[in-house]
Amino acid sequence: DGGITQSPKYLFRKEGQNVTLSCEQNLNHDAMYWYRQDPGQGLRLIYYSQIVNDFQKGDIAEGYSVSREKKESFPLTVTSAQKNPTAFYLCASSHLLARTNYGYTFGSGTRLTVV
Amino acid sequence: GQQLNQSPQSMFIQEGEDVSMNCTSSSIFNTWLWYKQDPGEGPVLLIALYKAGELTSNGRLTAQFGITRKDSFLNISASIPSDVGIYFCAGQLSGSARQLTFGSGTQLTVLP
């Protein structure tokens, strides 16, 4: 079955370290997105990409970086510049060219904790 | 960015009761979607609405696309314990290249 896979499910980072969160989809979706969710909060957009080798900053891109070298993959790096990285991170993907907008498909998330 | 006002922020209801939540905006949307997020998981699409006035059901869930295209509501009938979670509305603005704007979520707790 097609889907979107995030790994790892739980991640612990020491202060000052960079960490990379994986996101892979086999839905043949054009666009991919990264969101951050804090406890009791909604979804805040970090980065998104509509095509390979191109990506755009979202509302809270500072301290994060991404790459889109393959259509299926959109890894997110949380850098040491991100001062408060403890959060739940969600990856999503969607079609861009389908006549009907079927919305985003989300992964199951990665919970990042700074120790 | 563009805001969707989702209410209520949280709800505590007894099992068997009906639930209603809604989203409003000052902008016109082409598509409205409702998602549910279980604890520790990603949101899952419940209902998608594509035309003003459209009323769509999915089991005990019913959602409507407002006539003005600026609002949508979700009703859950006869709530059960597994309805617990966060419900998000999402809308697609005209010309937004299919990007979605999300509401802040409604946290639903069902008491036995």
The string of pLDDT tens digits covering residues A10-60 is: 999 998 899 999 999 999 999 999 999 998 788 999 999 999 999 999 999
Q: In this complex, which of B42, B97, B107 lies closest to A106 when CB atoms are compared?
A: B42
Do the beta carbons of residue A37 and residue A92 sit within 8 Å? Answer: no
The pLDDT, as a whole number, for residue A51 is 93
Written as one letter, the residue type at A16 is G
Query: Which residue carries 């960079």 as its tokens?
Result: A18
A106:B102 CB<8 A? no
The pLDDT, as a whole number, for residue A103 is 84
Within A8-73, strands assigned E span 10-13, 19-25, 31-37, 43-51, 54-57, 64-66
Give chain A's contact residues with B (Cβ, < 8 Å): 6, 31, 40-43, 45, 48, 50, 59, 88, 90, 92, 94-96, 100-109, 111
A59:B1 CB<8 A? yes
Compute the average pLDDT of residues B78-107.
88
pLDDT band for position A2 (50/70/90)? confident
The pLDDT, as a whole number, for residue A100 is 66
Q: Is the pLDDT of residue A61 over 80?
A: yes
* Partners of residue A45 in chain B, C-beta under 8 Å: 1
pLDDT band for position A70 (50/70/90)? very high
Chain B residue with minimum CA distance to A87: B40
Q: Is the pLDDT of residue B63 over 70?
A: yes
